[in-house]
Structure 1
Amino acid sequence: MAIKQADEGVRATSDKFYDALTQMANGDATAMIELWPHRDDVTTMHPIGGREVGWDEVRGPWQAVADMAEGGKIELSDQIFHVFGDVAIELVTENVSMSLGGESVEGAYRTTNVYHREDGEWHIVHHHTDIDTEFIDIVQRLGDE
């Protein structure tokens, strides 16, 4: 879906988010950590379950998965944006394949991202994907080792 030219900034922020997600799926969480606002009002709900509120909680799963991940590839499909003033919602399917501690993870995750514009700049403030019980099992097994 085309978005208004004035809102291309949200698309650019989404592109940065997915570049950072791909880097995380290849073992490097640096770009993801730099991209997010380090505030108490950011939130995530990952395929590994749970809900993280505030930067201190949000950061943990990004780093933990990066520490186990390699060979990651993320392709997007069905991507649309809805912009409401200074808030934008992105609906997208993340088609993911990666290795976690040598175990293959593949899935198509329905995802909602929320962006907020402050001082003319868009920032991701929420990321929510479907839960994946296989992904949860692998992360738990690797955490027990």
Structure 2
Amino acid sequence: MSPEDEVRTISLRFYAALTRMANGDAKPMAAVWSQGAMVTALHPIGGRQVGWDAVRASFEQVARLASGGKVELHQQRIHIAGELACETGVEQGQITLADQRVAIEHRVTNLYQREGDGWKMIHHHTDISPAMLAVLDSLPHS
């Protein structure tokens, strides 16, 4: 399999895991992410998570509120430079957050790194979603 095909495969696995998260189960994320201290995520709900523990916790937080979701990558572009791969595209789909349906259409940049057992995600960055933020802001704060 070519390196580009390997990156396409891990990308498909990431978007399958993202769809599972959008249906309340963040556990599959662990299989596609590198789990080091330097991984980062900038989600559509804002903030910046650094390190696997923070990234995992952010996906788990959304999963607790999510159901009925599906996320797919469109307009995929991949560039590989040695042990790093950059993927850009547009995430499209929908998610129900706290019983409110939200459309997803975000520009995205994903970075992958080749590790001993294959490619792993090391960075995920999307546009901010005003609709998702509005849902989260409407929730009671404890």
**Shorter-chain TM-score above 0.5:** yes
Describe the superposition over 1:26-74 as per-residue Cα deviations: whole angstroms up to 9, x where unpaired: 1111101333222101000000001111112111210011111111012
Q: Secondary structure at the match of 2:60?
A: helix
Aligned residue among 98, 102, 120 for 1:101: 98
Instruction: Report what 2:107 is aligned to.
Output: 110
User: Which stretches of structure 1, 4 residues or longer, exceed 6 Å deviation after superposition?
Assistant: none
1:7 aligns with 2:4: yes
Q: Distance in 2 between matches of 1:6 and 1:44?
A: 23
Q: Please, which of 40, 43, 49 is the counterpart of residue 40 of structure 2?
A: 43
Aligned residue pairs, count: 142
Over the residues paired in the alignment, what is the CA RMSD in angstroms? 1.6
Q: 1:76 to 1:35 in 2, by over 3 A?
A: closer
What pairs with 1:34-113 in structure 2 (closer than 5 Å)? 34-113=31-110
Q: Would you say the 8 A contact 2:95–2:104 is kept in 1?
A: no
Q: In 2, distance between residues paired with 1:133 and 1:108?
A: 11
Q: TM-score w.r.t. structure 2 length?
A: 0.92
Measured in 2, the distance between the counterparts of 1:17 and 1:109 equals: 16
Q: CA deviation at 1:107?
A: 2.5
Q: Give unmatched runs, 5+ long, in structure 2.
A: none
Residue 131 of structure 1 is matched in structure 2 by 128
| Compared CA separation, residues 78 and 7, structure 1 to 2 (3 A) | closer
